[in-house]
Structure 1
Amino acid sequence: LRAVEQHPAMLFFLDNQQSLGPDSRAGQNRKRGLNENLAREIMELHTLGVGGGYTQEDVTSLARIITGWTFAGRQGQLG
C-alpha cells in the first residue's frame, strides 16, 4: 500500500504535491491548504471501501498525516 501511494504517478495524479498544512507558512503564503484527494482514495478505494465506516474527520486527519509526500521532477525540483 505504501509503495503504491507514495509512487510519483499517484502523488501527481491525485495532487498530493499541492497539499500544504493550512497553518504552515507555505500554506498561508500560497493561500492553500490540505488536499484530501489521496487520503480519500486510500480509504475509499485502496483499504476500507465505500461505506467503510470512516468519517470526513478521518479523511482530513489522514490528509494531515500524508501532507508532505511529494516527488522530485526531472529538474530535481520538488513536484
Structure 2
Amino acid sequence: MIDENVHFRHTARLINALIAARKPYELLVFPDERHMPRRLQDRVYMEERIWEEKFSKRAEAAILTWHPNLLHLEWR
C-alpha cells in the first residue's frame, strides 16, 4: 500500500463500520498503486470488475413481462 495519504487502518475502520451496520461492501486492493490504478493491467482489471458487478445485478433484476402489444424488460 503506497498511498501515503490513506492508511490501510482507515480502510479497516471503514470496513468494520460497514459490517457493524450490516451494509454490503466490496473492496478491490491494488497494493502497488496509489488512489487509482495507473498500470494498464490493473486499470483493466478494475474496470472489468465494475462492469461485471453493474450488469450482473441488472441482469438479475430484469424480468420479462408480457403485454398484449409488446414484450419488454421491466426493471425492479
Instruction: Give the structure with the larger helix fraction.
Output: 1
Whether the TM-score (by the shorter chain) exceeds 0.5 is no
In the superposition, the TM-score normalised over structure 2's length comes to 0.25
Higher Cα radius of gyration:
2
Instruction: Give the structure with the larger strand fraction.
Output: 2
